[in-house]
Amino acid sequence: MRGSVIVRSKDEADRLRLTLASLIQQTEKAEIIVVNDGSRDHTRAVIEEAAENFSIISIDNAEPLGRSAAANVGARRASGDILIFLDGDTLAAPNFVAAHLATHRSAVRGGQRLVGRGETYHLRCTRFFADPETGTPQPGHEARVACLKEAELSRMRVTQNDITERFATIDERASPGIYPGVGPRLLYEMEMNALRAYPDCEVLWAAASGANQSVCREAFLTAGGFDVLLTINEHRELALRLCRAGLRMVPVSARTYHLTHRTGWRDPLLDTSWETFFYQAHPIPAVPLLSVLWSSLADPVPFPTSCRIVSLPELSAAARRCGSTLGIENGDG
């Protein structure tokens, strides 16, 4: 069984350089496919530099296609049995590939097909840097970075040498969740707890991850890949379709580290464009209740405590109650 790591990247060249360095250091090698989704920065040069030391398949989209379409392009080009998705601003722990493949190999021996969800951490220290390796500030944060003492700046930077020689120090600096804050940490802990403690929960697809997620290539292509109408929450929508096709969502002990940034991220509670497309494709109560779940993890909670949903089993139960009230057949949560 072979793996293909599909890296989606757009205008994040200096972070991508670090991502590729982490993939070169994997304990088990995999095919690496980088989809350069219409970048206007020096992404092409970064890929060419990395390709001098490691085999990389590079796909250049002349214009940005979006996260979903870019990932689909990479998946169609892949030759591995297992697709592992990663973003171009995310580091992979040295056992990242090995852990995903081990989980899928075990499932095959048991006659199962899986969607693997890894452990998603973040590095808060990178949020002010355009280039986390040099400490070059993001536009608008020059004064903030200029105030840092040299010793503090050195502790905050993430270098290729850190990745290749002392990766444990990166893990020591990391925190759970893909972004800083109580909400992302609680979401991460809730999702991983559900995957580990409630393997038969009907809504485990809601624990899918945008990066650090794996699936067998055949199942991905048969399902049609990511919905190109979705560029936020596309991973959960795909996981729902895969679970309906008989795959199981499971946790994988493969850790990734998001190099955080101050701009460019999208909050699904504010950017609700995903809801219409998601619900049209899957008109089940669990889909609109996702927003209630995520809002319940906020501080403060924007509605009465009695209305909170704070776990995936609670989401499943609430969806069943709504489905029964509305007369909806709700076998998928």
Query: Which tens digits make up the pLDDT trace of 215-253?
Result: 999 999 999 999 999 988 999 999 999 999 999 999 999
Phi, psi angles (nearest 5°) of residue 306:
-65, -15
pLDDT above 90: percentage of residues in the chain: 80
Quote the DSSP letter at residue 204: G
Half-sphere exposure of 283 (CA within 13 A, CB side): 5
Within 8 A by CB and 6+ apart from 182, the residues are 297, 299
Mark out the alpha helices in 4-53 (DSSP H runs). 13-24, 43-51
Q: What's the chain's average pLDDT?
A: 92
**Helix crossing, 234-244 with 273-281: angle to 10°?**
10
- Is 0.85 topped by the overall pTM? yes
Cα–Cα nearest to 97, from 5, 197, 210 = 5
Report the pLDDT value the prediction gives residue 166, as an integer from 0 to 100: 95
Domains and CATH numbers, the chain: 3-124+176-266 (3.90.550.10), 280-326 (no CATH)
Task: Report the Cα–Cα distance between both ends of the chain, in Å, rounded.
Answer: 32
Q: How do residues 117-173 score in pLDDT, each as one tens digit?
A: 999 999 999 999 999 999 999 989 899 999 989 999 999 999 999 999 999 999 999
- Rounded to whole angstroms, the Cα distance separating 302 from 292 reads 9
Phi, psi angles (nearest 5°) of residue 157:
-70, 155
Token reading at 202: 């009907």
